[in-house]
Amino acid sequence: MTALANLIDPMIQHGILNPHLLSLLARVRHTNTLVIADWAFPNFPGIEIIDLSVIKGLPTVLDLLHAVQPTFKVGKIWQAGQFLTTNSPETIRRFDEAFSSFEGAAVTRLEHDDFKELVPNAIGLIRTGDPTSYGNIILQSV
């Protein structure tokens, strides 16, 4: 086996393994947005949807957020303001902590209907099995 062959592994071994998700993430460019949503989030015609939901609670929005964090440079994060009034302080803390891992990313919370108006401009939507009320997020690349 040549030295070059040793560097090229025929199968991804680390990080995101799902080929559809990898393809979507590879197409994100400056200022593109990406939606990570719960299991009940509506379909939007014309937007690529990758449904990763397995069962209720698996995976979660935070699971996906942690998975994309090493390779996705985020400048802005949007979430529905209703998230703050419908979830426990612990859930809010976990989301805020995850958001803080994207250094310098501005978090904006807006009305859920206004949040949904931003979705059609996204490059894609990843649906999870998350049951967190208003836990959907939109990430904008730098």
Chain Cα centroid distance, residue 52: 11
Does the pLDDT of residue 86 top 60, yes or no? yes
Q: Determine which one of 14, 20, 30, 66 is catalytic.
A: 30
The full set of domains in the chain, from first to last, is: 16-141 (3.40.1650.10)
Pairing of strands 124-127, 33-37: parallel
The model's pLDDT over 34-70, given as tens digits with 9 standing for 90+, comes to: 999 999 999 999 999 999 999 999 999 999 999 999 9
Residue appearing with tokens 């379909």? 43
pLDDT at 15: 86
Pairing of strands 137-141, 124-127: unpaired
14 tagged catalytic: no
DSSP 65: H
> What is the pTM assigned to this prediction?
0.90
Token duo for residue 56: 């209720």
pLDDT at 1: 47
